[in-house]
Structure 1
Amino acid sequence: MEYRFADCLLDDDRHLFTRGGEARHLEPQVFSLLVLLARNSGQVVSKAEIIDQVWHGQIVSEATISARISAARQAVGDTGKAQQIIRTIHRVGLQLVAEVERQGRAQSAPMPPVQVRLLRSSDGTGIAWSEIGEGAPLLRAGHWMTHQELDLDNPIWGPWLQGLGRGRRLVRYDPRGTGMSDRGCTDLSLELMVDDLKAVADAASLARFPIFAASQSVSVACAFAHRYPERVSKLILYGSFVQGAVIRDGDQGKALTQAIGHWISTGWGSPTVGALKSFTSLFMPDATEDQVQSFMQIQVASASREWAVRLRDFFGTVDVSHLLPEIEVPVLVAHAANDALQPFSQAQLAAQLLPNASLLRLDSINHILVPQEPAFEQFMTAVDHFLA
């Protein structure tokens, strides 16, 4: 949606703000605050609603709130004294008093429907998989909370699928126990997840192929490349961790894993609960409110509370660092420089241990890149060049 007021244009779909026809950079909270006020133009937005929508219910100081309000006023050409555009209603909240014109933007073409198939892995667990597009193959290893059908229209995973699939035949699957794969499985091990990846590659008739892996699936992709070197042509590793938090950070990593497990246990199944918002904000601090809400919804739709906790606990103890020196295929290791969930040092470690790796540092704080940030297109362009 586009919002026009004064000499400003605010486009929450493209995460774009212009004033006087010139694009201006805004901090994420300032942008979210302006979107919230524009959506409710003429109405008073309470302080509690501002904290809930802009900071996702987290505890925030008065000084921080005042600083973001001041920055929002400065961005639109207003001041705290004039208050011609953003008015403070004492002890109540804020009000956007300028007249706002709303205009919906043309929606991008939806992704075509896919034929979801189900195969049986080595232990009999059903794995849901599908393919999108035409061209040279790329297999996306199953990562955190995907869903074969819901991903297509999701404002986070949809653009990822479009970027990875442009000009390619993208093969993808839901990890065991998640998405449209069997929910009743009880076994979880790195060996079984490697078997799952192989089963999908076999079903898709992929002989030798590149793999894209993100976050938790990096360990699976590396273990597969180590076990079946003749099957893998290239690896793209994004948001890598080759050592889980418990392995690399000891007691501190164990405490973090337990805290995340508590957030999941508390908020899973209730997308409005602050605990789940806090957990989601670790993945994408720069995401818009709509993106946060949609990501929370797809997480809840993709796995049970118990399986989500079990996955987090399992990958907290994974360690494939000893396998990397024996993986000789070309590897692109890409990582957000200020990733709040998995440290950049894990990407550096992977690039050091892999004999034929290059390291791409992305200027972002998001573990999952959001489509509106420059780093997203930078990464997708790097993928195109690497696979060319």
Structure 2
Amino acid sequence: MAGETYRFDDYELISARFELRRSGHSVRVEPLALDLLHYLLAQRDRVVPKNELLDSVWGNRFVSEAALTTALRSARLAVGDSGRDQRLIRTVHGRGYQFVAPVTVVGGRPAGHAATPAVAARTGGDGQTIRYCHAADGTRIAYATVGSGPPLLKAANWMTHLDLEWRTPVWSHWLEGLARRRRLIRYDERGCGMSDWEVPSFTFEDWVDDLETVVDAVGPERFPLLGVSQGGAVAIAYAVRHPERVSKLVLAGAYARGRSVRANSEAQRDAAALDLELARVGWSREDASYLRVFASQFLPDGTAEEWADFIGFQRKTTSPVNALRFLDQFARIDVSDIAHLVQCPTLILHSRDDVRVPASQATELAALIPDSTLIMLSSGNHLLSAKEPAWDEFLTHVDEFLSV
């Protein structure tokens, strides 16, 4: 998308941020649906044929018209339209679709000159550049680079959004700190953020394959790799698969075995099952009380405002259906049988009182990975906050480890 902002009804689509807003509040919408909406807005002076939409939004991926119908339905729902009302998006039978509501464009090009969403680079005010690559199964993966200097690649984890991360206190200090004197490369995993939400497959192996796809697209020959939370297991699997590419490994709040796998008693198995059941109820209903409990597991030392921001951020990053798919897969992760094959130096950093992932998981990783160093941080947060002393300590250890 380019830098234009389209305003219609009480909505605005901000291209540079890849964001749809209503009355000043962000609206959650699947990336393909947002690309489709953007293309129709940019081409609003004419009826856009179905084949053109398929080529422009899906690029060289072969998809059926059913995919277009699904994305169109999502786009209409996001802006309060429907196939019956067609107040904003009109179906012209036998020809295609046209955006027909009045539109005001701020800071953009005239109608009929849209960038191609599948290949356009997006540069935000933070200086990062966002691009897309495609996994072997056709899933579109969004990745971003920011900063300059030697590369540091971060494996994806729960939950990410390449653009919105810069505006949330949960992640902004991570990005700023990690990009100091480095070229930080990161991506949204399939199912969330700016990557495709509706995907053909959703497994741990897919996540490792997606990391492989991003590395091939960005092109660093050899680089340090950071894995946070379940991203640590993905990073381990990639490092084992490609020892010639990974120079060093940094694991933060990571684990080798998911909650269901590591449960070794009936009580622990019951607790793991209850955690998933509560997630199914809480996420499917988007229950605020559950989401607060969930946020408190990641930031037990956080303030009410930080919890509220974390909840709002999660709601914008993925659908309730995908959130459950993520949590189910997280619980099944197991790289304990391959961790000993990691060949590079590894730094393991973990909060001593982590509520979401117990410190025992860090010690297990340290025992499994041959050339590893374990450092316990004085914190209870799974995701370190900017204000706590442990955050500066974390950055110092990472800087020292990567500079050697």
Does TM-score exceed 0.5, indicating one fold? yes
TM-score (norm 2): 0.66
Mapped pair 1:242 → 2:256: yes
Out of 131, 135, 142, which is 1:128 matched to? 142
The count of corresponding residues between Structure 1 and Structure 2 is 279
| 1:175-190 equivalences in 2 (<5 Å) | 175-190=189-204
Mapped pair 1:158 → 2:172: yes
| 1:50-129 equivalences in 2 (<5 Å) | 112-129=126-143
Identity %: 39
CA displacement at 1:111 relative to structure 2: 6.5
Residue deviations 1:198-249 (CA, integer Å, cap 9, x gap): 1111111111111110111111110101111101000000011101111111
Structure 1 contact 247–253 (Cα < 8 Å) conserved = no
Q: Secondary structure of 2:385's match? A: coil
Structure 2 contact 260–273 (Cα < 8 Å) conserved = no
d(CA) in 2 for partners of 1:346, 1:296: 26
Structure 2 counterpart of 1:84: none
CA displacement at 1:270 relative to structure 2: 7.3
CA displacement at 1:343 relative to structure 2: 1.1
Structure 1 counterpart of 2:40: none
d(CA) in 1 for partners of 2:268, 2:326: 15
Q: Secondary structure of 1:212's match? A: strand
Q: Secondary structure of 1:268's match? A: helix
Mapped pair 1:322 → 2:337: yes
d(CA) in 2 for partners of 1:328, 1:188: 28
AA of the residue aligned to 2:365: A
Structure 1 counterpart of 2:238: 224
d(CA) in 1 for partners of 2:269, 2:188: 27
Out of 197, 208, 214, which is 2:222 matched to? 208
Mapped pair 1:308 → 2:326: no
AA of the residue aligned to 1:164: L
* Unpaired runs of at least 5, structure 2: 1-123
Residue deviations 1:156-215 (CA, integer Å, cap 9, x gap): 100011111111000010011010100110312222211110111111111111111011
d(CA) in 2 for partners of 1:225, 1:144: 20
* Unpaired runs of at least 5, structure 1: 1-109
CA displacement at 1:271 relative to structure 2: 6.9
d(CA) in 2 for partners of 1:254, 1:359: 28
Structure 2 counterpart of 1:342: 357
Q: Secondary structure of 2:194's match? A: coil
Out of 349, 357, 364, which is 2:372 matched to? 357
Structure 2 counterpart of 1:90: none
TM-score (norm 1): 0.69
CA displacement at 1:291 relative to structure 2: 1.3
Structure 2 contact 295–307 (Cα < 8 Å) conserved = yes
CA displacement at 1:113 relative to structure 2: 4.0
Structure 2 counterpart of 1:168: 182
Residues 252, 299 of structure 1: CA spacing in aligned structure 2 closer, same or farther, 3 A cutoff?
farther
d(CA) in 2 for partners of 1:305, 1:143: 16
AA of the residue aligned to 1:147: H
d(CA) in 1 for partners of 2:339, 2:282: 36
Out of 150, 158, 166, which is 1:144 matched to? 158
Q: CA RMSD in A?
A: 1.7
CA displacement at 1:257 relative to structure 2: 3.5
AA of the residue aligned to 1:214: V
Deviates most, 292-301 or 256-265: 256-265
AA of the residue aligned to 2:219: S
Residue deviations 1:300-357 (CA, integer Å, cap 9, x gap): 1111111111111112111101111111100000101111111111111111111100
d(CA) in 2 for partners of 1:343, 1:268: 23
d(CA) in 2 for partners of 1:264, 1:303: 14
d(CA) in 2 for partners of 1:171, 1:115: 10
Mapped pair 1:197 → 2:215: no
Moved over 4 A (4+): 269-272
Residue deviations 1:115-143 (CA, integer Å, cap 9, x gap): 22111012111111111100100001000
d(CA) in 2 for partners of 1:111, 1:328: 38
Structure 1 contact 263–279 (Cα < 8 Å) conserved = no
